[in-house]
Each structure stands twice: as structure tokens, then as C-alpha cells.
Amino acid sequence: MNLVVVGAGVIGLSCAWRAAAAGHAVTVLDPAPASGASWVAGGMLAPVTEAWPGEEHLLDLGVESVRRWPGFAADLTAAAGLPAGLRTEGTVVAATGAGDRAELDALAAYLTRLGRAVDRLSGRELRRLEPALGPDVRGGLSVPGDLAVDNRVLLAALRAAGERVGVRFVERAAETVLDDGTRVTGVRLDGDVVETDAVLVSAGAHSASLHPALDGLVRPVKGEILRLAHRTGAFPPPSRTVRALVDGRPVYAVPRDAGGLVVGATQAETGFDTDVTVGGVRDLLRDAERVLPGIAEYALVESAAGLRPGSLDNLPLIGGLGPEGLLAATGHGRNGMLLAPVTADAVVALLRGDAVPGQAKAADPGRFATARTSRR
Ligand SMILES: Cc1cc2nc3c(=O)[nH]c(=O)nc-3n(C[C@H](O)[C@H](O)[C@H](O)COP(=O)(O)OP(=O)(O)OC[C@H]3O[C@@H](n4cnc5c(N)ncnc54)[C@H](O)[C@@H]3O)c2cc1C
């Protein structure tokens, strides 16, 4: 089958590689591949520490995807001849004030009820695990099963794997996906139409404008993030991902190779704005330093903002959109890195005409059809 993938972020690249490996003729359209949210992301693969009561479908989907991550990374390294950037040291979650401890206790109780593995630790026990944690950390959790990935290493490997298996990359923007009412006919670019049997919309926060069926279903959610580098003589960075609540505000630090540390992330609904604000940088550094005091001596090497593709219920949209051959893989919000393997497997199953993995059924965009019909 001919497949056009619109958007080369982690989702489009993962689906393009897997679809081409399954025998489809794949073209990826993107004027600036790997430049969206996937380029700035922290890279936590953290279904458990992201869990939230009421989002059980998302937790199930995330747990399934993190289970697939080691195999996905091994396949990718073999296919690309490059590292995939996976880190398996696990995650600790730290609380500072009494209110933060109470919130983590509630999270631990909720996860235990769901049968997920978490260990509650005192501040001292946490510091034994991660000496970089400062004295303000009063307690928290250890979650060995939550992984992490270096997003930029991953994107390079995905692009290389795609190219090796015949994916064609065209650096142009899609204007709209065309259909004749029953099936997809092509994609319109400025002045051109690319004809195709199937289209996968994976343009991240920009997906909603590409077909009326996605209208109002995906919106940009801005996130600011910082990249730090350890300097000689400074306290060494943590080896695990550190997530923390500081007086109710969430902050995280994800280690990279060679002393890198990614500190994130703010969250704001301000349309397609990608300015990094003074207040955003100040808040992230203030809160991260409360948890990891040694970072005061690190170099601040980058500040960036990206647009998470937010959906209406925080679950992604993975599946058909009505016209035959029109698929979506978007709306992954704060979990696109985590959900890449399960999303790519679901898309390949859909292209084959098979059922998607069980946990991905809840992400079928058809769940919004009733709401849309009754809104009209
Ligand atoms: C600050 C921050 C931190 C994050 N941290 C994490 C994390 O720790 N773990 C995690 O799992 N997730 C994280 N996320 C979320 C994750 O980054 C996103 O869910 C994921 O990157 C979405 O991938 P995507 O491929 O859908 O979109 P994107 O990466 O945004 O890619 C979309 C692509 O589509 C292209 N495009 C747009 N319009 C068009 C068009 N008209 N035609 C063709 N191409 C087009 C763009 O150029 C872009 O390359 C974070 C996000 C942010 C912003």
C-alpha cells in the first residue's frame, strides 16, 4: 500500500519506519523533520509516575508501551545501526513539603490499588539511592519500571532506520488531506497533489488543521524546558530520572550521557506561542535547585519551548477517521515518547486490516464521533 505520513516527529517517524519494514511504500512529508515537541521533550518513559486517578486507560496504554520499549529500542538499533538512547536506571519521585508528601502518599496508594510496583522511601533512603538529592527532600517513591530515552538520539535513529528501509522524506508542508467522501485520494501541498491510498496524520499540535475530522480534537499545550551540563568540580548528576513536587509544583530532571541533565517542564495553553519566558526559566531553575542543589554549578546550555499535541481527554487519537485510508496518530500530549512503540504497532495493525493492541482500542478517535454529531 502507498502511505503518506504527514509529520516527522517521534510518532510519524516511528510509524513510517515500522510501516515500511512491514512492506508499505512510505513517503513522509515534513518541512522541518524532528523539529517539533519531539526535539525538545524530556524523554521520560513514565506511565506510572505520570498516573492520575481517572486516567486508567492512559495508564494501561502507557504500561503496555513501556513494556514494548526495550524490544522497540533493540529493533531500532539493529535497523539503524545507531543507539536508540534508552536508559533503564528507573525513576525516583521526591517530595519537599508536608503537602507534597501527602500527595505522593495518595499516588502510591492509588498505584498499589492498581497493582503497580512502587516503593515508599524516606528522605534519607532516597538520598542513599541518589546522593544528588538535597536536604529539602523529605521522602518519596522509587519506581524502577519507569524508563527514559534521549529524544535526540532516538530521532536520529528513527530517521536512519526509515531511510534504510526505503522511507522517502519530502521536506514540504501538507496543506490538507483530500478525500472523495468515502476514501482518501491524496494530500494537497502548495500547488501540488500527492496521490496515495492512505494517509497518516501525525503532525503533532498542528494536526487539527489537516482534515475536518480532526477539527477541535487536538490543541497545542506549551512546555518550556532547559538543558544543563555538569561542569568539572560540581556535584555529579543523578543517575535516575528525578521527579519532584516542590510546594505543589511538579519539576523533573532527566539525565543524559556525559553529564547532561534535562530540566522540565512548564505547562500553558497559549496557542502556538513558542517563546521561552523569563518566568518559566526562573520557576524551573528555582524548583530544580531545591531538589538538586548541585545544579547551581552546572552550565545552562539551552532553553526551549515545544507544543505538546493535547487531546480532549489526554488519551491520544490512534485509528481511522472516517474516509477509508485516513488514519490519525496524534494527540499524545505529554506522553508521545512513551507511547511511540504501541502507537507504531497499532498503525501497522490498522494498515494490515487487523485489530489494534487491546490497550490501544481506547484511543480510537471514534470515541469523539458521538460528541461531534450531537454538537452539530
Ligand atoms: C517540554 C516538553 C517535554 C516533554 N516531555 C516528555 C517526556 O518526558 N516524555 C514523553 O513521553 N513525552 C514528552 N513530551 C511530549 C512529547 O514530546 C510529544 O507527545 C511528542 O513529541 C509528540 O510527537 P509528535 O510526533 O506527535 O509531534 P511533534 O514532535 O510535534 O512532530 C510533529 C511534526 O509535524 C510537522 N508538521 C507540522 N505541520 C505539518 C504540515 N502541515 N505538514 C507536514 N508536517 C507538519 C512538524 O514540523 C513536526 O516535525 C514533552 C513535550 C514537551 C513540549
Q: CATH says 2-69+151-217+312-375 is which class?
A: alpha beta
CB of 8 within 6 A of ligand 1: the answer is yes
Give the residue whose CA is nearest to atom 48 of ligand 1.
36
CB of 33 within 6 A of ligand 1: the answer is yes
Domain extents in the chain: 2-69+151-217+312-375, 91-144+220-311
104-150: pLDDT as tens digits:
988 888 888 878 778 899 999 999 999 999 999 999 999 888 899 99
DSSP string computed for 205-238:
GGGGGG-GGGTTTEEEEEEEEEEEE--TTSPPPP
The residue to which cell 543517575 is assigned? 239
CB of 331 within 6 A of ligand 1: the answer is no
Predicted local confidence at residue 370, as pLDDT: 61
The average confidence (pLDDT) of the chain is 94
All three cell numbers of 271: 496557542
Among 10, 29, 38, the mutation site with the greatest number of ligand 1 atoms within 8 A of its Cβ is: 38
Q: Which residue has the higher pLDDT, 53 or 179?
A: 179
Residue 47: pLDDT band (50, 70, 90) is: confident
> Does domain 91-144+220-311 correspond to CATH entry 3.30.9.10?
yes
Find the 28 Cα to ligand 1 centroid distance in Å: 15
All three cell numbers of 348: 501497522
d(CA 80, CA 32): 21
pLDDT at 261 over 70: yes
Residue 353: pLDDT band (50, 70, 90) is: very high
89-108: pLDDT as tens digits:
999 999 998 889 998 988 88
CB of 7 within 6 A of ligand 1: the answer is yes
Q: Are 225 and 268 in contact (CB under 8 A)?
A: no
pLDDT at 73 over 90: yes
Q: Which of 25-34, 143-152, 172-181, 289-298 has the lowest mean pLDDT?
A: 143-152
